[in-house]
Chain A
Amino acid sequence: VIVFSWPDSGAKRQRCVTCYEGKVNRASWENGCAAVFAEALHLGNLLVRYGYIYPLKEPRALQLKPDESPYRFQTPYFWISTRWPATELDYAIYLAKKNIRKQGELMEYEKESYSQLHKRINHTWDFVVMQAREQLRASKQRRKADRMVLECQEQAYWLINRPPPGAHDALDMGPEKGNVVNSRVNLIENSKRALGRNRVKSSICLEGFVKYSEQYHNQDPIMHGCLPSNPWISDDPAHWALNADQVSVPTRLRVERWSFSFMELLNDSMGRKEFMTYLEKEFSAENLCFWQACEDLRHGETSKIVQKVEEVYRQFLAPGAARWVNIDSKTMDKTMEGIKHPHRFVMDAAQMHIYFLMKKDSYPRYLKSELYKSMLAKAIVPQETKKSVFPFMRRQRHSSPSPAKVIATATEQDGQGAGQAGANSSAVSQV
C-alpha cells in the first residue's frame, strides 16, 4: 500500500508516496488518475492523523500534503496500537523532560497541563522528576542524530495523544457509551414469539427490492437526473417550483407516481385532492374524509382526543350521520365499545377497514378513470436545461419563503396542518 523511494541523500530521510492497493507504478500516479490519487491521499492522511507517519518540517501540521514534504515512519514503540491510552504519568515525564531541557519554555497549553498534572499526581512527583532526569541522561549518551530522531518521534507521539487545543484530535471518541442497563428483557418469551411468526420466502422478498428499484429508477434524481435540472447542481430551482405542493399542472413523473401505490397517491397533497374529486363523483368521498379524520386523531394533541372521537362518531359513525361510512358490523361493534373509553387508537380498526376498501376498490377505478387519464395526458414534461455556455458564472441563488412564517397565522386555527404531513414549499404563502 505504501511505496517510498529512497533518494540519494542520507538513509534517514524518506519520501512517502502512497499508492493504491499495491499498484506501485509511479506512472499511474503521475497520470493524475484522480480517483486513485484521492484514495491514496486519503489513506496517507489517515496514517498521519493517527501518528503512524509524521511530518518532519512542520511537526504540528498533522496532515498529508501532496507535495514534496518529507515524512518519516513512526517507530512501533510509539504506535497508538502499541501504547494506548497514553498515561498521565508518561505525559508528566515527557513534559518534565521538556521543561528541564528547554528550561521552562513549554507551550502555553503544555504549561497548563504540566501544572494540572503537578496537582493531580503530586504524590508521585519525585518519581516523575527522577525518571525525566534519568531519561535525559541516557539520551545524552546517544549519538546526536539518534537523539534528534527520538525526540522527533516522541514529540509526534504526544502531538497525537495530547493535541494542542483547537488541533484535530484523532483519538476523540465522543461521549461514553456502552452502559449496561437493567433491562426487562424476557429473551425466552421474545424467542418463543419469534418462532411462531410467519415468514416469507427470501426469493419473494428480494424480488420485491428489484421490482421497486426498477419502478422508481426514473423518479430517483441521483440515479437518473431530474428535469429540468437538479437545483443543487445547476443553481436553478425550477424543478422545485414545478413540483410544488399546489401547481396548476403537475409533472408527468409526479402523476405517474400516483399509480405506483395507493400510499403514493395519498402522500401527495395534490393527488389526494384529485382522488377526493373522483370520490365525490362516485358519492363515496366520506371514506377519504373519514380516513383523514382518523389520521388527525391518531397524530394530534392528546388533549383533543376525546373531542375528536366525538366529532368522528357524530359525522361518520352514528346512525343517520351526514357522512356515514360503511363498516362491517364486527368492526363497528368493536369501535363502539372502544368509543366508551376514547383513546388515540380507538378508530384504528375502522380506519384500516376503510383504507383497504378504498385501496382495493376506489383506487384501481380511479386509475382507469377519465379524471386520472386526462391529468396524465396534460401533465408536463419539463425541458432539460442545456448546460450553460459559461459554466463558471454562478447563478444567483434565490431564497424561498420559510415555512416558519406560517406560525403566526396558523396557531389559532384548530388542528390546522397538525394532522397532515403538510409540506411547505416555495409556492405556498397562504395557510
Chain B
Amino acid sequence: MRGVTSARQQHQLAEAGEPWWRQRESERKRPNTRTSSTIPSPLCASSLKMACQALQSGESLATLKNESDSLKKKLEEERAKLHDVELNQVAEKVELVSALSIRTRRVLKGHGNKVLCMDWCKDKRRLVSSSQDGKVIVWDGYTLNKEHAVTMPCTWVMACAYAPSGCAVACGGLDNKCSVYPLSLDKNENLAAKKKSVAMHTNYLSGCSFTNSDMQLLTSSGDGTCALWDVESGQLLQSFHGHTADVLSLNLAPSETGNTFVSGGCDKKANVWDMRSGQNVQSFETHDSDINCVKYYPTGDAFASASDDGTCRLYDLRADREVAVYQKDSIIFGASSVDFSLSGRLLFAGYNDYTINVWDVLKGNRISVLFGHENRVSCVKVSPDGTSFASASWDTSLRIWA
C-alpha cells in the first residue's frame, strides 16, 4: 500500500539513525495547512475494482459513478429543504457571553517529550496522559502529584483513556495495539507486568475509549477502521468499516440508548455508527481536510469536529446537516482537538499554532484566545464536572485552565 510504513520498518529506520518519518519528506504535506489533502475521490482504484467484480452485466463504471454523484446531490437538496433558519439567527435573542477570565491554573510537567493525548478520571481531578517517548503518566491534577507511570514499548502513544471505575487505563499508538493497564497503589508493583493487550489493528492506534464500563473498549486506527473489543478476552466484538482513510478520532454518544458513536478521519468524513450492527448510520463530509477530532454535544443530538482546514464545525444529527462553522481568516493552522463546556455554550478548540480558542457555540463568534503553550496543542478535554479543562501539548506539558 503506497505510503504505509509498517511498524517494523519504522523501528528499523529509527535504528538507522534518522527518524523514520523524515525519510518520506518528499511525500509529505506542506506546513501551510490551508491546502486540501491529496486523498483521491472516494471511488479509489481498489474499491472500483471490487465494484466491477460485483457488477451486473450491462452496467459500467461510469454509470455507477453517475448514480453515486446524483444521489449525493439529491441528498444535499433533501437536507436543504428543511433548513429554514441558521444557528446564529436563532441565537440572536440569547445574551452575549460575559467576559471569561480563563487562566492557566496548573501546569503539569514531567513528560520528556510531546504529550499527545490525555483523559480525565471520573473523580474530576485525576487524569492520564501519554507522550511521544512512550510514557504514560497518571496524575492528580489538583496536587500535581504523579501517581503512576508506565513506559510503553512503542513510541508515539497517540491514544489514552481512563477506565470509568478509575482502576485502569488504556493506551496505544505506533504499536498498532491498545493495551489496558490495571492501576495499583502497591509501590513495588510493576505496572507493565500486568499489561493486557486488548485491541489489534493493522496500523497505528489513533483513539481509544472505554464504553460505559471497564469491560469494553472502542478503538480507532490508521488502518481506516474502528473496532469494539471485549477487554477480558481481547475478542473483537464488532468492527466498523466505512472510512476510506485513517480514522483519527472517535467519541461515544451520551444518549439515553447509548448505542452510537461518531468517528472522524483523513477522508474528511465524520461518520456516526451503530455499535450493535456495525452499520454507518450517518455521514457528513463538509470539511476541506483531515478531521482530527470529533466530540458530541452534551445532549448527543449534535457533535463538533476539528480539522486541519483550520475550522471547527457543528453537525446536527436530527437535521442531518452541518449547522455552524467556527472559523476566522486569521486562523491558518489546523485545529487538533475540541470539547464543549458543561452547558454546551462554549467550545474549546486547540490548534497547531499553539493556541486554544474559545468559541460561542450558539452565536458562532470567538470569545477569546488562550496563550501559554509553546508548541502544538494536541488534546483539549473538559473535566467531568465542568470545573476546568485540560490541554496537552507538544511542548511536553499539560495545562489545566479555569
Contact = CB atoms under 8 A, between A and B. Distances in A.
Interface in B215-260: 215-216, 222-224, 230-233, 235, 237, 241-246, 248, 256-257
Interface in A237-263: 237, 239-240, 243, 262-263
Query: Chain B contact residues: over half helix, strand or loop, or mixed?
Result: loop
B397 interface: no
Interface in A379-405: 397-400, 402-405
Given A176-B5, A213-B362, 14 more contacts: A38-B369, A38-B371, A177-B266, A178-B3, A179-B2, A182-B46, A183-B244, A185-B47, A195-B71, A203-B85, A243-B385, A301-B233, A348-B276, A422-B166
A408 B102 CA distance: 39
B331 to A, nearest CB: 12
Given A185-B241, A212-B344, A222 B123 contact: no
A183 B353 contact: no
A232 interface: yes
Given A38-B371, A199-B320, A400-B123, A188 B68 contact: yes
Contacts of A303: 232-233
Contacts of B4: 179
B361 A213 contact: yes
Given A172-B394, A199-B319, A178 B71 contact: no
A61 interface: no
A80 interface: yes
19 contacts: A38-B371, A81-B30, A168-B374, A176-B21, A183-B47, A187-B71, A197-B282, A202-B82, A205-B319, A212-B344, A220-B343, A239-B387, A240-B124, A240-B385, A295-B212, A403-B166, A404-B185, A410-B165, A418-B165
A302 B184 contact: no
A101 interface: no
Interface stretch (A10-18, A68-76, A223-231): A223-231
Interface string B300-312: 0110000000000
A10 B256 CA distance: 71
A221 B346 CA distance: 12
A398 B42 contact: no
A381 to B, nearest CB: 17
B334 to A, nearest CB: 11
B342 interface: yes
Contact of B386 (A35, A85, A220, A410): A220
B240 to A, nearest CB: 11
| Residue of A173, A202, A226, A352 ringed by the most chain B CB atoms within 10 A | A202
Interface of A: 35, 38-39, 41-42, 46, 50, 80-81, 84-85, 116, 168, 170-185, 187-188, 190-192, 194-195, 197, 199-210, 212-217, 219-223, 226, 230-233, 237, 239-240, 243, 262-263, 295, 298-303, 344-345, 348, 352, 355, 397-400, 402-408, 410, 417-426
Contacts of B5: 176
B213 interface: yes
Nearest to A403: B166
Nearest to B210: A299
B297 interface: yes
Given A177-B246, A220-B345, A200 B386 contact: no
Contacts of A300: 213, 215
Given A84-B30, A226-B387, A399-B140, A233 B105 contact: yes
Contacts of A50: 31
Contacts of B374: 168
Contact of A404 (B3, B42, B47, B148): B148
